[in-house]
Amino acid sequence: MAKLRIGVLASGRGTNLQAIIDAVETGEVEAEIAVVVSNRPRALALQRAMCHNIPSVVIRQPDYPGRVEHQVAIAGLLREKGVGLVVLAGFDRILVPEFVRQFPFRVINIHPSLLPAFAGGLHAQAEALSYGVKVTGCTVHFSTEEVDAGPIILQAAVPVLDDDTVESLSARILEQEHKLLPLAIQLIAEGAVEVAGRRTIVTRSQRGD
């Protein structure tokens, strides 16, 4: 059986991309990274892809009339590469409906909170501290036309410590992201994730037993 081909969209440091690369190379994730796409030419994620001989492409938004045209171009490239799953790994653009509709329940994102808490923004960790919650975490979910509202695949809880700063909390959440995102990809590659309305059903143990 052919491996699932994934396309990774990243705009920044690419630490979640690196976690995926490592999991693919060790066989923990039975998939192939077909392409890494960034909207930022200087994104470190591109260098990570290059170091592992993974095709990478820069598609800048200023080169297109608007967000829709930009993302339709990205979608076209992903389809050319035969991508079966799109992974948002620190992509700093909200997806337009015209993109999402081309990959129904085939786009996943990781968000640094336990959705639906602190959805829809770039400052979830700061909001968690501001609200005084004792537990936050991260969520892998399918991306839909409604921001951060797609069916949840996996979540990991992270305690909020009394002396936490945004930086320290973010770092601990990121550690969990690096575990959760590859696991979600593997579950999808196995066909072990089913969408039922606004929910998902995972049909095997997350421990793999």
Average pLDDT over the chain, rounded to an integer? 95
Tell me how crowded residue 154 is: count the other CB atoms within 10 A of its CB. Answer: 20
Place of tokens 């973010």: 170
Q: Which of 65, 80, 71, 139 has its CA nearest to residue 101?
A: 71
Express each pLDDT in 145-156 by its tens digit. 999 999 999 999
The position carrying tokens 């990959």 is 103
- pLDDT of residue 130 exceeding 60: yes
What pLDDT is attached to residue 209? 43
Q: What are phi and psi of 199, to 5 degrees?
A: -115, 165
Q: How do residues 65-98 score in pLDDT, each as one tens digit?
A: 999 999 999 999 999 999 999 999 999 999 999 9
Specify the higher pLDDT residue, 198 or 14: 14
C-alpha to C-alpha distance for 157 and 113, rounded to whole angstroms: 9
Residue 122 confidence (pLDDT): 81
Per-residue pLDDT, 103: 97
pLDDT at 198: 84
CATH of 111-209, one of 3.20.20.70, 3.40.50.1220, 3.40.50.720, 3.40.50.170: 3.40.50.170
CA-based nearest residue to 170, from 198, 36, 178: 178
> Is 1-103's fold the same as 111-209's?
yes
105-133: average pLDDT: 95
- Active-site option among 111, 123, 141, 178: 111
User: What fold characterizes domain 1-103?
Assistant: Rossmann fold (3.40.50)
* Average pLDDT of the residues in 51-67: 97
Q: In the prediction, which pLDDT does 206 show? A: 60
178: annotated active-site residue: no
* pLDDT(132) > 60: yes
Handedness of CA 66, 68, 69, 74 (dihedral sign): positive
Cβ contacts of 72 within 8 Å, gap of 6 or more: 98, 99
Cis, bond preceding 41 (omega within 30 deg of 0): no
Which strands, in side-by-side order, build the sheet including 152-159?
A: 56-58, 31-38, 4-9, 85-88, 107-111, 135-142, 152-159
Q: How many CA atoms lie within 13 A of 179 on its CB side?
A: 13
Q: Which residue has the tokens 């995926």?
A: 20
Q: Structural domain boundaries of the chain?
A: 1-103, 111-209
Half-sphere exposure of 80 (CA within 13 A, CB side): 10
**23 strand-pairing partners:** none
9: its two tokens: 């969209």
